[in-house]
């Protein structure tokens, strides 16, 4: 057995693109010598198949010390472009590596590889494969060059300006116009759609050249992508190719942005750039439809990448690949028996700006701020759960009702709810039979155009609930929401608008961005359920999420924390855009999705948390709060002296409800401002004492806030106050009585009272 062994790391797929770019298929070789020293051993590497050599032999002399290993990472093996170009079909090959010493082969290994056809592309290995796809984008192909005069004519017809000036205008609309002109010029060529092979990203696909697509009038989704990308590159734009599961679409930057990487694995950042207006996506297969407009192709492209972001496998930025020296394949032109090879030469256009996206530094820390007491932090933590148990942080579909809406209807829905208009909820399968036959059985299969029309005509949205469970699901949700509101006085039924999809410690989370408090009610005469905005609330940003992002990533989003308002509620477009902009500036690979879900969410305590967070220093000026916050284990010393000298008999005549001595002492101490706890078993007059206290406080010009955990306790005291004729001077802010109209009515009744003397 030989004492010399050799191992190698080899690219499993070898292509003409690798030969053209000079990329070695061998990444690393390790030679191990377990025997005596061997000087001037020759290492040789070559690529072969049944047709012969596919590379120039590469050799290196090695001095192998005894019992040692040598690792080589700079293997300069070069494939033969002319040989690789002649490969017509995929076939097996091998990388042969041998070590020869003193004329004797002492070690060798053959690594099996797949040799791709000259024009074939396969998404293996990830990253490198996508970069090499850029060689098939051939802006200097004669067919692309010949297309440019027509592109210029179309641009001039639309704008009066025929210049193919790339980004020099610094105008995204001008960029769109150039892209539309390229689309229209290619569309005029009458290209027919060709069905790609099944699982083409896995088994590979032969990529047609511009000549085959334009002159041959045939192309798959990938073919049309690379041809339109070549034309966009020729006019000075920066195209992208998005590889999806079973599909490919084209992207282009609407502003002159330099990507930091030629291949993107996580498209969350890019999806944000789409929503911010920096990127546009085009469904290039619509080039094969003579009646398709460019805007339709853009809409379809955007839908393709948003429909399921997880289907986006890789994104190639062609301009970034060029910076990595991934140049196009030369175009071969045969005319009158003469073969002309057209090499790539970069076009001269505008120079990209140095920065990619404006960045902002994290806010300065206020080291001189007064430290928050531990007890106050404990109060805050009890009120606001920023952990993953909180559905405002980790929203799940469990018990939620998802609504199928397009982006325009989403904004209209928020406006209508804040204007307290009724919006119907339809079962997911309540779809016209004609549409079921054309698209599918549920609303999830319907095109956005129909969803938009349904909302505009009927002010109704489709849910994800089937007709079989529609009534039971919504009846149960309405009952649960009503029960919580009656018990706590707070409405916890919300419409969650927009979702931030983000990662925390390797876990993907989904959090709502804007919350609209809802009222869910059954339709009349067995009609569909309806929702409307709760009059006691309004659209509110998800401050729980904003606080968690601030704590975890130092991310602040002023445009969402203090959102722009429109005629009815929040300007959702501006709010979502603010989040996307903040993510882009911070470089966080999260994305915003425009979604709508009805769910019960615990959000009411946030206001209390916010009050403590911003006003705790003011709160602890109160003696009792100061004691509880700073010295809770010590005895509380009330700064107000006891009122044992008070005339209790006189006080008794001023109380509307008869009271004994202990009750009068309690009323007297309270009026004096003392702090105490009033305890007693049922039937000892606690509610009467509270009613007397309220009456005397009102009589002396004081304002009193009476708080009860349950509605039942509030009703007992409210009844006592009503019995003594002071009900009109109370403002009930519990539950549905806190609605603006009800509050205004209570205040108006109090203002309309007239004093009457005793008869």
Residue, of 743 and 646, whose pLDDT is higher: 743
CA dist 21 and 86 (Å) reads 16
Asked if the structure places residue 758 within a domain, the reply is: no
- The confidence band for 647, taking pLDDT boundaries of 50, 70 and 90, is confident
CB burial of 650-666 (b: ≥16 within 10 Å; e: otherwise) equals ebbeebbbebeeebbbb
Task: With CA atoms as reference, report the closest residue to 317 among 405, 258, 364.
Answer: 258
Domain boundary at 601, 622, 648, which?
A: 601
The separation between CA 585 and the C-alpha centre of its own chain, rounded to angstroms, equals 15
Q: Quick one: CA dihedral 208, 211, 217, 222, positive or negative? A: positive
Mean pLDDT for 548-570 is 92
Residue 559's contacts (CB-CB under 8 Å, 6 or more residues apart) are: 574, 575, 577, 578, 579, 581, 582
Whole-number percent of the chain with pLDDT over 90: 61
The torsion defined by the Cα of 291, 294, 298 and 301, in degrees rounded to 10, comes to 50
Domain count, the chain: 4
The tens digit of pLDDT for each residue in 136-183 reads: 999 999 999 999 999 999 999 999 999 999 999 999 999 999 999 999
CATH code, 100: 2.60.40.10
Please, are residues 110 and 95 in contact by the beta-carbon 8 Å criterion? yes
Q: Which residue has the tokens 């309540």?
A: 430
214 and 109 part of one domain:
no
Domain boundary at 94, 118, 142, which?
A: 118
Mean pLDDT for 556-575 is 92
Q: Which residue has the tokens 């007059």?
A: 685
Decide if pLDDT at 350 tops 50: no
86 and 158 part of one domain:
no
Please, are residues 257 and 356 in contact by the beta-carbon 8 Å criterion? yes
Domain that holds residue 416: 399-539+591-601
Residues written for the chain: 759
291 and 408 part of one domain:
no
288 and 187 part of one domain:
yes
Q: Which residue has the tokens 């960045």?
A: 359
- The confidence band for 361, taking pLDDT boundaries of 50, 70 and 90, is very low
Asked if the structure places residue 663 within a domain, the reply is: yes
103 and 172 part of one domain:
no
Decide if pLDDT at 336 tops 60: no
What pLDDT, on the 0 to 100 scale, is given for residue 340?
Answer: 56
- The confidence band for 259, taking pLDDT boundaries of 50, 70 and 90, is confident
Class of residue 319 by CB neighbours under 10 A (exposed 0-12, middle 13-18, buried 19+): buried
Residue 523's contacts (CB-CB under 8 Å, 6 or more residues apart) are: 424, 529, 530
Asked if the structure places residue 446 within a domain, the reply is: yes
- The confidence band for 736, taking pLDDT boundaries of 50, 70 and 90, is low
For residue 179, the SS3 value is helix
427 and 482 part of one domain:
yes
Distance between start and end Cα atoms, the chain: 124
695 and 597 part of one domain:
no
CA dist 162 and 152 (Å) reads 5
63 and 150 part of one domain:
no
Residue 227 backbone dihedrals phi, psi, to 5 degrees: -70, -45
DSSP string for residues in 62-126: EEE-TTEEEEE------B-HHHHHT--S-EEEEEEEEEEETTEEEEEEEEEEEE--TTEE---ST
The separation between CA 358 and the C-alpha centre of its own chain, rounded to angstroms, equals 20
Please, are residues 24 and 77 in contact by the beta-carbon 8 Å criterion? yes
CA dist 590 and 315 (Å) reads 16
160 and 293 part of one domain:
yes
Asked if the structure places residue 217 within a domain, the reply is: yes
Count the Cβ atoms, other than its own, within 10 Å of residue 567.
Answer: 8
Asked if the structure places residue 547 within a domain, the reply is: no
Decide if pLDDT at 235 tops 60: yes
Asked if the structure places residue 573 within a domain, the reply is: no
The tens digit of pLDDT for each residue in 395-429 reads: 998 889 999 999 999 999 999 999 999 999 999 99
Mean pLDDT of the chain: 88
Please, are residues 511 and 393 in contact by the beta-carbon 8 Å criterion? yes
For residue 759, the SS3 value is coil
Pairing verdict, β 4-10 and 26-33: antiparallel
Question: Out of 364-368, 627-631, 735-739, which region has the weakest mean confidence (pLDDT)?
Answer: 364-368
299 and 172 part of one domain:
yes
Q: ∠ at Cα 581 (577, 587), nearest 5°?
A: 145
Cα separations (Å) of 524 from 251, 502, 520, 528, 711? 49, 41, 13, 8, 29
What pLDDT, on the 0 to 100 scale, is given for residue 359?
Answer: 37
Q: What is the DSSP letter of 570?
A: B
176 and 303 part of one domain:
yes
108 and 74 part of one domain:
yes
Half-sphere exposure of 675 (CA within 13 A, CB side): 13
Count the Cβ atoms, other than its own, within 10 Å of residue 369.
Answer: 8
Decide if pLDDT at 184 tops 70: yes
What pLDDT, on the 0 to 100 scale, is given for residue 126?
Answer: 86
Asked if the structure places residue 363 within a domain, the reply is: no
Please, are residues 459 and 424 in contact by the beta-carbon 8 Å criterion? yes
For residue 725, the SS3 value is coil
Domain boundary at 118, 138, 159, which?
A: 118
CA dist 253 and 237 (Å) reads 7
CA dist 625 and 709 (Å) reads 19
Question: Out of 16-25, 201-210, 237-246, which region has the weakest mean confidence (pLDDT)?
Answer: 201-210
The torsion defined by the Cα of 276, 278, 281 and 282, in degrees rounded to 10, comes to 130
Cα separations (Å) of 557 from 275, 496, 546, 581? 16, 18, 7, 9
Please, are residues 514 and 570 in contact by the beta-carbon 8 Å criterion? yes
The separation between CA 97 and the C-alpha centre of its own chain, rounded to angstroms, equals 48
For residue 363, the SS3 value is coil
CA dist 40 and 63 (Å) reads 5
Asked if the structure places residue 575 within a domain, the reply is: no
């Amino acid at each position: 057995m030989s004492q010399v062994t050799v191992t190698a790391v080899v690219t499993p797929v070898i292509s003409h693109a690798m030969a053209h770019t000079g990329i070695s298929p061998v990444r690393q070789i390790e030679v191990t010598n377990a025997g005596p020293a061997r000087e001037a051993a020759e290492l040789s590497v070559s690529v072969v198949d049944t047709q012969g050599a596919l590379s120039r032999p590469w050799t290196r002399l090695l001095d192998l010390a005894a019992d040692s290993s040598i690792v080589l990472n700079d293997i300069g093996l070069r494939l033969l472009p002319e040989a690789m170009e002649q490969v017509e079909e995929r076939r097996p090959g091998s990388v042969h590596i041998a070590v020869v010493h003193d004329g004797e082969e002492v070690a060798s290994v053959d690594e099996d590889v797949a040799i791709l056809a000259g024009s074939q592309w396969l998404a293996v290995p990830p990253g490198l494969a996508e970069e090499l796809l850029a060689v098939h984008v051939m802006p200097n192909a004669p067919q692309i060059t010949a297309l440019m005069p027509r592109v210029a004519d179309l641009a001039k017809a639309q704008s009066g300006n025929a210049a193919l000036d790339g980004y020099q205008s610094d105008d995204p609309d001008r960029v769109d116009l150039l892209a539309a002109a390229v689309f229209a010029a290619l569309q005029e060529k009458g290209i027919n759609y060709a069905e790609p092979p099944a699982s083409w990203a896995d088994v590979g696909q032969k990529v047609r050249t511009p000549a085959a697509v334009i002159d041959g009038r045939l192309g798959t989704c990938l073919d049309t992508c690379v041809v339109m990308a070549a034309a966009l590159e020729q006019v000075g734009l920066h195209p992208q190719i998005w590889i999806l599961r079973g599909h490919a679409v084209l992207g282009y930057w609407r502003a002159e942005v330099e990507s930091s990487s030629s291949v993107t694995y996580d498209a969350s950042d890019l999806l944000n750039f789409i929503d911010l207006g920096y990127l546009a996506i085009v469904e290039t297969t619509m080039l094969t439809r003579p009646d398709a407009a460019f805007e339709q192709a853009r809409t379809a492209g955007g839908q393709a990448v948003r429909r399921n972001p997880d289907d986006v496998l890789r994104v190639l930025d062609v301009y970034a690949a060029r910076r990595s020296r991934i140049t196009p394949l030369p175009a071969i032109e045969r005319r009158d028996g003469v073969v002309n090879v057209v090499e790539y030469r970069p076009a001269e256009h505008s120079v990209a700006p140095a920065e990619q996206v404006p960045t902002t530094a994290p806010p300065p820390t206020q080291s001189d701020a007064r430290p928050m007491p531990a007890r106050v932090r404990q109060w805050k933590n009890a009120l606001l759960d920023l952990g993953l148990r909180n559905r405002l942080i980790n929203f799940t579909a469990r018990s939620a009702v998802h609504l199928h809406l397009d982006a325009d209807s989403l904004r209209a829905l928020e406006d209508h709810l804040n204007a307290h208009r009724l919006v119907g909820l339809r079962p997911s399968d309540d779809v016209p039979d004609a549409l079921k036959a054309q698209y599918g059985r549920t609303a999830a299969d319907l095109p956005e155009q129909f969803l938009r029309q349904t909302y505009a005509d009927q002010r109704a949205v489709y849910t994800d609930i089937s007709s079989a469970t529609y009534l039971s699901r919504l009846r149960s949700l309405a009952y649960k929401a009503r029960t919580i509101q009656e018990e706590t006085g707070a409405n916890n039924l919300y419409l969650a608008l927009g979702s931030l999809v983000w990662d925390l410690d390797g876990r993907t989370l989904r959090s709502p961005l804007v919350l609209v408090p809802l009222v869910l009610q059954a339709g009349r005469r067995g009609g569909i359920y309806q929702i409307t905005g709760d009059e006691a609330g309004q659209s509110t940003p998800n401050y729980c999420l904003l606080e968690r992002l601030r704590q975890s990533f130092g991310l602040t989003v002023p445009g969402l924390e203090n959102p722009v308002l429109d005629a009815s509620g929040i300007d959702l477009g501006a709010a979502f855009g603010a989040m996307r902009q903040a993510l882009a500036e911070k470089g966080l690979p999260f994305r915003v999705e425009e979604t709508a879900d009805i769910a019960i969410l615990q959000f009411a305590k946030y206001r209390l948390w916010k009050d403590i967070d911003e006003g705790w220093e003011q709160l602890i000026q109160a003696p009792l709060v100061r004691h509880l916050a700073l010295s809770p284990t010590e005895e509380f010393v009330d700064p107000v002296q006891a009122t044992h000298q008070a005339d209790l008999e006189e006080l008794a005549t001023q109380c509307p409800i008869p009271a004994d001595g202990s009750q009068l002492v309690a009323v007297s101490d309270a009026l004096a401002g003392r702090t105490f706890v009033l305890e007693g078993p049922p039937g000892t007059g606690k509610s009467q004492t509270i009613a007397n206290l309220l009456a005397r406080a009102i009589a002396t010009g004081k304002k009193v806030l009476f708080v009860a955990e349950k509605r039942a306790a509030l009703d007992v005291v409210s009844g006592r106050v009503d019995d003594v004729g002071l009900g009109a001077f109370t403002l009930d802010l519990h539950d549905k009585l806190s609605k603006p109209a009800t509050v205004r009515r209570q205040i108006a009744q109090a203002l309309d009272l007239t004093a009457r003397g005793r008869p």
